[in-house]
Amino acid sequence: MKYALIAAGQGSRLVSEGVKVPKPLVQVGGTPLLSRLFRIFLDNDAESICIIINEEMSEVRCFLEQQQRQLPIPLNVIVKSTPDSFHSFYELMPYLQGEGKFCLTTVDPIFREAEFADYIRTFRADESADALMAVTDYIDDERPLYVKTADNLRITGYASEAYDGLRYISGGIYCMNQRALAQLPLAMEAGVSRMRGFQQYLVDAGLQLRAYPFSKVIDIDHAADVKKAELFLDEQLIK
């Protein structure tokens, strides 16, 4: 299975709070975010990884050059500054085309590894869904994207504001097939500019999207999130 990483953001909130390293290299439990994800991808049958970083991330670029020599699978690196995650996804598209499914994620989600493994297994075995989107009912986000679901966790749409009946928000992890990927240039031509807009575009295009609930997903957006994530991971070790 192919894996893709969006790591082209500026991490401005972390910088403003005194974090000195670029977000992809922020350590949680003594491990850089990138290293943790690479290990998890390898544990879940990664055949290749592609990643996009912005042009200012010289430290991250050096780290990735080292990883290219050490990883047992291809690591394709794009260095380009983009306006948002959707445009970053578009730049990664050439490495995801062809046969098979893929998993796309941002660089900063912290989750239970056992849940992620089951998530990947579920999507690989599911021939009916064009996309399986990670969701969670743990809401600790300044601008969450709420996910509307129907029977069997079929996704019917998205909302920026909460209302009665909405349980889940997006976890920022996306499994898709080639049919979903083929909508990417069409969405770009239609003026879609954000990942949340692309997800709604897939629903409107009639594709089959399903939600996969994670118990908790913590994004590393603030310095305080590092401690939250470490406590969360420690809880899993105790259990």
pLDDT digits over 87-115, tens only? 999 999 999 999 899 999 999 999 999 99
* pLDDT band at residue 10 using 50, 70 and 90 as cut-offs: low
Q: Tokens standing for 86?
A: 């959707």
CA atoms within 13 A on the CB side of 216: 12
The average pLDDT across 124-149 equals: 94
Q: Say if residues 90 and 99 touch (Cβ distance below 8 Å).
A: no
Domain count across the chain: 1
How confident is the prediction for the chain on average, in pLDDT?
94
Look at residues 149, 129, 142, 140 and name the one whose alpha carbon lies nearest to residue 209: 129
* pLDDT band at residue 164 using 50, 70 and 90 as cut-offs: confident
User: pLDDT: is 164 or 174 the higher one?
Assistant: 174
- Taking the CA atoms of 148, 91, 26 and 239 in sequence, report the sign of the dihedral they define: positive
Whether 82 shows a pLDDT value over 60: the answer reads: yes
What is the CATH number for 230?
Answer: 3.90.550.10
Calculate the alpha carbon distances from 126 to 194, 205, 210 in Å: 27, 20, 10
What is the extent of the structural domain holding 174?
2-238
Give the pLDDT of residue 44: 98
